[in-house]
Structure 1
Amino acid sequence: MSNEVLVLAYAGCSTCKNALKWLQTQGIPARVRPIVDEPPTVAELERWITRSGVSVRKWLNTSGLSYRALGKARVDAASDAELREWLAADGKLVKRPVLVDGEKVLVGFKPEAWAEHFGSRG
């Protein structure tokens, strides 16, 4: 496959490591963008959330320290625009990895979903 995918990942994240290893074993070239150093911008999030087919709330890393620092009540009360701002400001708040492949965006690593996507990438 000639087109490399973009993967926003965190070096200390075991799920990200597993996803990158999976891509490598599938022979899929990837450009890795460190999500903590270069989180998605608000403009990217506006495009990517739509392309992912899931709500902005599904983009939250609910098991991380950043989420816990905000608190569930505050997150629940936030608008989608506020959530996009928070995600853009703190890469650790983003569920990861984020895979961007043209018009398709996958959030989190589910091998079966990735296999389905790349099977149809053709």
Structure 2
Amino acid sequence: MEIWINPACSKCQAATAALDEAGVDYTVRRYLDDPPTATELEAVLTRLNLAPWHIARMNEPGAAAFKSLPKDEAHRADWIEALVSTPILIQRPILTTDDGTTAIARDPETLTRLLGN
């Protein structure tokens, strides 16, 4: 299991605490320090069945330059580049289980589902 986190994020802290409490082995990826490549981000988006603009945190200070970017397939590569170059814009935490199931684990219900409880 892998979890992409920002250690300063309360939702990420809650998710890792839940994983610890469940006794699950997992790998932490501090995606601000180790940003995903475009290929990695595309793979996550495919597993999430989402477009890149669906996981963009547009209230972050770095988002101002991307607010006018159209949310359409013609601009998908631009969105991917924006998220890769400014990873603070990526929604968090993103959890991928060993079977490849991936979810944005911002709530206890999602965590419970992913942990199989």
TM-score, with length taken from structure 2: 0.85
- Take 1:75 and 1:108, find their aligned partners in 2: how far apart are those partners? 26
What letter matches 2:65 in structure 1? L
Q: Which residue of 1 aligns with 2:22?
A: 26
Residues 108 and 57 of structure 1, relative CA distance in 2, 3 Å threshold? farther
Are positions 1:104 and 2:101 aligned together? Answer: yes
> 1:61–1:96: 8 Å Cα contact kept in structure 2?
no
- Take 1:71 and 1:84, find their aligned partners in 2: how far apart are those partners? 11
Report % sequence identity: 26
Q: How many residues align?
A: 115
1:93 positional shift: 0.9
Q: Which residue of 2 aligns with 1:73?
A: 68
Unaligned ranges ≥5, structure 2:
none
Post-superposition CA distance 1:66-118 (Å, at most 9, x none): 22x22522364771111111111122010011112232111241211221122
Task: Look up the SS of the partner of 1:74 in the other structure.
Answer: coil
Query: After the TM superposition, which residues 1-122 of structure 1 pair with which residues of structure 2 at under 5 Å, given as runs?
Result: 5-67=1-63, 69-74=64-69, 76=71, 79-102=75-98, 103-119=100-116
Unaligned ranges ≥5, structure 1:
none
> 2:105–2:111: 8 Å Cα contact kept in structure 1?
no
TM-score, with length taken from structure 1: 0.82
Residues 13 and 75 of structure 1, relative CA distance in 2, 3 Å threshold? farther
Task: Look up the SS of the partner of 2:68 in the other structure.
Answer: helix
